[in-house]
Amino acid sequence: MDVLTTVPVAELAAAGELFAGLEAAGFDGACTYETGRDPFIPLVLAADRTTTLQLGTAIAFARTPMLLATVARDLQDVSGGPFTLGLGTQVRPHIERRYSMPWSRPAARLRELVAAVRAIWDAWDGTGRRSRWSWSS
């Protein structure tokens, strides 16, 4: 069984060391989430300091499909993969106040977002089949 954790990153400059410590402690994977920081930047620093740690996000879906597809692909490449794009719907106050988005059928919106990200990855893959990038919802 994989040993995974979700990590708050308080000090961005220490993110690489934080994730390297998790890898040394025997964790198989670690995810970032949104706590006043972009969840993707710490993972770039983590990728530079780790070799076997599975990296991923546990984030709200408040981004465009192209942005998510691009950032996930870049993190896949820089980390040596697989990178896991973990998405969730969040709660109404966060969607409306934190992300300035209208609240509407979150499950349907998430399904649509995932389909769009997969279509972008498939287009980049050029084969019309499911791409090699990992994601989770």
For the chain, give every domain's residue range: 4-125
**For each of the chain's 137 residues, which pLDDT tens digit applies?**
477 788 889 899 999 999 999 999 999 999 999 878 899 999 999 999 999 999 999 988 888 999 999 999 999 999 988 889 999 888 899 889 988 888 889 899 999 999 999 999 888 876 555 445 444 44
Which listed CATH number (3.20.20.30, 1.10.260.40, 3.30.70.20, 3.40.50.1980) goes with 4-125?
A: 3.20.20.30
Cα–Cα distance, 119 to 90 (Å, whole number):
23
Pick the closest to residue 27 from 49, 45, 1 (CA basis): 1
Pairing of strands 83-88, 134-136: parallel
Q: What is the pTM for the complete model shown? A: 0.82
